[in-house]
Amino acid sequence: MPDRVLLTGVSGFLGGHVASALLAAGYQVRGSVRNLAKADKVRDTLTKAGADVSRLEFVALDLLKDDGWDAAADGCRFLAHTASPFVLRMPTDKMELIRPAIEGTERALNAGLKAGVERVVLTSSMAAIAYGHDKNHTSPFTAADWTNLEGHGVSAYVESKTRAERRAWEIMKAAGREADLAVINPSGIFGPLLDEDPGTSAQIVVRFLKGGVPAVPRLSFAFIDVRDVAAAHVAALTAPGAGGHRFPMGERNLSLLEFANILRRRFPAYAAKLPRFELPDWAVRIYALFDADVRSNLGELGVVKRLDSRDVVALLGRDLITAETAVVATAESLIAFKLV
């Protein structure tokens, strides 16, 4: 019988791609959803994406409830924990993000350890690496770097990912199994959608292509293709040197204007709807007086956070898919699903 992997968050954008990659690699996948009513939709989505779902089963798990975790992990050789809350608009109460991120990590890892899984692969984020540092930090962030939660510009999401990953290392260390945890720390994840749900990262492409953003602030982000992130999860399950390590993932940085220019060049039919210039910082600061989301990102104006991805390139044994390819694939999917 193929090795079984408990994959949390199988219905998510990343979770679906991880499931597809695991199935293609020959694993048996036990995917978790909050409600089993989602199972048929996930199965249909993965089938349309070309996956063999004969080795896919589902369990209902909630990050905030104890029910079912031990049974879900029983009989699994590996655990891939991708489930975690992610939003574009920060909640009024930051614990709405932090509590499920931490408690979900605790439930998943404790169940996996109890079941005797050989390795845990955790989806973290560059959010746990590159925030709260001095603005003048220009060198690429590495696996040795951690977000400073006492620093400036730490959002509820950044805190949730940092605290959840810290908790994962604490749990594994306490169990004497720190060397059996591998953590994937991706930047902004883009790439082909598996269904008509654009998720969160693709929303920026939706807004651009619909003409909802006439100009952009001077912001820059690191980009990574979801197919590479999924491949890294699969590789980290068994690669001899992956355990005990973090893997930052960012192919390259793009400013929002560079991002828009890629779309303009590759999708000329949408050119007139795309932003053509950057707003001066003073204009963004004035606008931020009336928009909390913009206000929360003021500290990122002009800041470039680069990631050192050499370790994940070595893990995959190949170069990363380019940021431009990831952006184009996202837009092509949105157009194909008639979301723009």
The whole-angstrom separation of Cα 248 and Cα 306 is 10
274 pLDDT more than 90? yes
Owning domain of residue 70: 4-336
Indicate the SS3 state at residue 23: helix
Number of structural domains in the chain = 1
331 pLDDT more than 70? yes
The whole-angstrom separation of Cα 182 and Cα 186 is 13
Average pLDDT over all residues of the chain: 93
1 pLDDT more than 60? no
Predicted local confidence at residue 90, as pLDDT:
58
Which residues does residue 174 pair with via DSSP β-bridges, in sequence order?
Answer: none
Which residues fall within 8 angstroms of residue 333, CB to CB, at 6 or more apart? 192, 193, 202
Summarize pLDDT for 55-71 with one digit per residue, the tens: 999 999 999 999 999 99
Task: Give phi and psi for 8, each to the nearest 5.
Answer: -85, 145
Q: Residue 227 is encoded by which pair of tokens?
A: 């197919």
Which residues fall within 8 angstroms of residue 109, CB to CB, at 6 or more apart? 79, 81, 120, 122, 168, 171, 172
What's the full length of the chain, in residues? 340
Summarize pLDDT for 84-113 with one digit per residue, the tens: 865 555 556 788 889 999 999 999 999 999
Predicted local confidence at residue 85, as pLDDT:
67
Which residues does residue 121 pair with via DSSP β-bridges, in sequence order?
Answer: 80, 182
Q: Residue 135 is encoded by which pair of tokens?
A: 């603005």
Predicted local confidence at residue 108, as pLDDT:
98
Torsion of CA 198, 37, 17, 208, to 10 degrees: 0
Distances (CA, A) of 100 to 24, 96, 272: 30, 7, 41
Summarize pLDDT for 132-179 with one digit per residue, the tens: 998 888 899 999 999 999 998 788 899 999 999 999 999 999 999 999
Summarize pLDDT for 237-255 with one digit per residue, the tens: 999 999 999 999 999 999 9
H helices of 192-296, where?
203-209, 226-238, 256-266, 281-288, 292-295
304 pLDDT more than 90? no
Q: What is the CATH number of the domain that holds 247?
A: 3.40.50.720
Q: Residue 148 is encoded by which pair of tokens?
A: 């400073």
Predicted local confidence at residue 293, as pLDDT:
65
Q: What does the radius of gyration of the chain's CA atoms come to, in whole angstroms?
A: 20
Predicted local confidence at residue 200, as pLDDT:
83
DSSP 275-297: --SBPPHHHHHHHHTT-HHHHTT
The whole-angstrom separation of Cα 34 and Cα 62 is 5
Inter-residue contact 96 to 154 (CB < 8 Å): no
Which residues fall within 8 angstroms of residue 254, CB to CB, at 6 or more apart? 220, 221, 223, 262, 323, 327
